[in-house]
């Protein structure tokens, strides 16, 4: 009687086992990798189990790679991430024991245009193989592998999968302004870590502006000593070295921006004699917008006619290139305001004697540009230096070989103007990539917010019916708008070759470290995929339905990694794939 019962139980168990393994093996596991790899081959979808003693192995002695290997070894075995959407389980008697890394050019430095490609092969047992030309490509490959792993009690990974991957654009960046509000070093390091996970490779650090000068430079200590918000809101030499090194360890270049000649009011605390219109109210009563003294509160522009200006700048350039080894040096040159310069008697006299403000800008560029390129740097300027309708210079003064322009106005039109002139361009269009847009205004005493009813017909809309709400670049740039942007729109094939990539930008009038993650992520992640593998599927159509589910899964994994990314949808949408789309 007992043997009959035992046999019946065993038969039932075998039936359940066979039925379960058969049904799950017919379900294709999701490939939840962000950004999506360029090429994935997985003809016979199966999964395998990671050995409890799984290790990433490499004979490469590069210190940055060795740190990355240790980091990913720890992450893969301790993350214990379960996807929101159930994945099939495989009862496997074999284990994946190791990921072996092979690199062909170990010495390639982290610089613009470095080879970031990799290939990844994961078999059903034994060994997986990651091959890359450089250390930096190998880091991307380890990130991809880490995102393929899931499970809590048992770590699973897709088997029989081959990935061949490389970025569409060499420059995939994020710009952070640390002058308007101070960001502790820990926030910058966390941001770099999140950038690396999204395969972004340039941290554009807009360090100084009119509001504060938070960086301590050995040759000019008074600039931070008097121009920062205080002793606890400065970046020391050791802080900068830590940030630059942390970036290297994560495959992220740190590009400094010392904005000149405008946006320099903070310099006046140490050197009032070289700054015009300092500490003046930015919009004098009764004046029109063209008569403003600054683009926003916080006035001050360097005086190109004062020789002391160039002594200070030379010291700043020398210190900056020493602290930041990257080959790019961002020198700003945006939003030079006529009235601020004209407020200075010497400049006013210069203009009265048939001089022009554009000639002043030419003088400034001619006396600073050679200093930067003498350090073997490529100079990056905001587009204004050539395209501003009031104060700009001739393109003949800016050699194309050592100049890159960053566009922020007028969407694809200004990108077209820059590449048509033969310059390389970084795209940061405010219409698509400005993360501070649509969040209102930081200025007080604005009675337009008092309106309780809709504006009268014919009046400027503000609070209602698509009004700006005080944001000059509203509406808010959603992740969908960021993702859908084609940064080479309207360009010829030759012109497309001059677009080196893009950057999402965060100006921080209304953001500090407490709200940083939610403002940046997941919108920066959306740009990261668009610039890595594009925003279109194999048929050339924009990815619509599948991208949000994958981005949602990635968001939850990022949150598990300590990044407080904003929510994108109700969790119900991910649990019910396709049900939150407009159409199926």
Active site residues: 335
- Report whether 532 contacts 199 (CB < 8 A): yes
Give just the sign of the alpha carbon dihedral 226, 227, 232, 236: negative
484: helix, strand or coil: helix
Give just the sign of the alpha carbon dihedral 73, 82, 548, 464: negative
By CB atoms closer than 10 A (0-12, 13-18, 19+), residue 14 is exposed
Q: How far apart are CA 469 and CA 448, in angstroms?
A: 9
Please enumerate in sequence order all residues whose Cβ is within 8 A of that of 258, keeping only pairs 6 or more positions apart, or say none.
207, 208, 316, 317, 320, 330, 331, 332
Question: How crowded is residue 17: how many other Cβ atoms within 10 Å of its Cβ?
Answer: 11
Closest Cα to residue 97, out of 59, 75, 128? 128
Q: How far apart are CA 394 and CA 371, in angstroms?
A: 19
Give Cα separations from 543 to 43, 387, 532, 567 (angstroms): 22, 34, 14, 20
Please enumerate in sequence order all residues whose Cβ is within 8 A of that of 547, keeping only pairs 6 or more positions apart, or say none.
483, 529, 535
Measured in Å, how far apart are the chain's first and last C-alpha atoms? Answer: 56
- Report whether 495 contacts 166 (CB < 8 A): no
Closest Cα to residue 329, out of 276, 260, 422, 243? 260
405 strand-pairing partners = 381, 425
- Tally helices (H) and strands (E) across the chain: 19, 17
164: helix, strand or coil: strand
Q: How far apart are CA 244 and CA 255, in angstroms?
A: 9
- Report whether 24 contacts 67 (CB < 8 A): no
């Amino acid at each position: 009687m007992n043997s009959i019962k035992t046999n019946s139980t065993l038969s039932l168990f075998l039936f359940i086992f066979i039925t379960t393994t058969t049904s799950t093996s017919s379900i294709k596991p999701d490939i939840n990798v962000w950004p999506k790899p360029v090429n994935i081959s997985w003809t016979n979808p199966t999964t395998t189990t990671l050995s409890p003693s799984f290790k990433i192995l490499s004979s490469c002695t590069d210190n940055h790679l060795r740190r990355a290997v240790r980091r990913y070894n720890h992450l893969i075995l301790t993350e214990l991430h379960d996807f929101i959407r159930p994945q099939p389980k495989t009862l496997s008697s074999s284990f994946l024991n190791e990921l072996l890394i092979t690199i062909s050019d170990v010495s390639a430095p982290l610089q613009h245009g470095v080879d970031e490609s990799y290939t990844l092969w994961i078999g059903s047992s034994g060994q997986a193989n990651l091959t890359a030309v450089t250390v930096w490509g190998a880091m991307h490959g380890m990130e991809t592998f880490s995102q393929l792993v899931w499970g809590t009690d048992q770590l699973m990974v897709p088997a029989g999968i081959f990935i061949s991957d490389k970025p569409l654009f060499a420059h995939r960046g994020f710009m952070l302004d640390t002058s308007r509000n101070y960001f502790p070093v820990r926030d910058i390091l966390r941001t770099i870590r999140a950038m690396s996970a999204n395969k972004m490779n340039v941290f554009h650090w807009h360090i100084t502006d009119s509001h504060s000068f938070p960086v301590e430079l050995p040759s000019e200590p008074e600039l931070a000593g008097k121009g920062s918000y205080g002793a606890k809101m400065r970046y020391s030499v050791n802080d900068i070295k830590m940030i630059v090194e942390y970036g290297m360890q994560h495959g992220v270049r740190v590009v400094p921006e010392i904005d000149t000649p405008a946006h320099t009011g903070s310099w006046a605390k140490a050197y009032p004699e070289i700054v015009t219109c300092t500490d003046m109210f930015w919009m004098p009563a009764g004046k029109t917008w063209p008569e403003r003294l600054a683009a926003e509160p916080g006035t001050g522009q360097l005086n190109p006619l004062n020789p002391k200006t160039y002594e200070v700048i030379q010291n700043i350039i020398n210190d900056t290139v020493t602290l930041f080894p990257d080959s790019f040096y961002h020198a700003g040159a945006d939003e030079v305001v006529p009235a601020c310069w004209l407020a200075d008697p010497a400049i006013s006299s210069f203009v009265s004697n048939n001089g022009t403000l554009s000639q002043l800008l030419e003088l400034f560029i001619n006396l600073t540009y050679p200093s930067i390129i003498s350090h073997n740097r490529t100079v990056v300027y905001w587009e204004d230096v050539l395209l501003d309708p009031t104060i700009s210079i001739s393109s003949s003064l800016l050699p194309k070989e050592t100049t890159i322009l960053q566009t922020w106005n007028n969407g694809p039109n200004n990108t077209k103007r820059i590449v048509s002139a033969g310059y390389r361009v970084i795209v940061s269009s405010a219409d698509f990539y400005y993360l501070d847009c649509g969040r209102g205004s930081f200025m007080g005493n604005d009675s337009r917010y008092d309106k309780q009813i809709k504006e009268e017909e014919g009046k400027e809309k503000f609070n209602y019916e698509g009004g700006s709400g005080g944001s000059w670049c509203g509406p808010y740039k959603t992740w969908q708008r960021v993702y859908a942007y084609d940064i080479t729109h309207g360009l010829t094939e030759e012109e497309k070759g001059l677009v080196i990539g893009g950057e999402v930008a965060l100006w921080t009038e209304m953001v500090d470290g407490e709200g940083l993650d939610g403002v940046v992520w997941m919108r920066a992640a959306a740009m990261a995929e668009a610039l890595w593998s594009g925003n279109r599927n194999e048929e050339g159509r924009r990815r619509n339905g599948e991208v949000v589910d994958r981005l949602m899964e990635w968001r939850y994994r990022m949150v598990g990694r300590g990044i407080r990314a904003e929510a994108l949808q109700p969790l119900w949408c991910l649990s019910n794939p396709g049900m939150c789309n407009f159409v199926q």
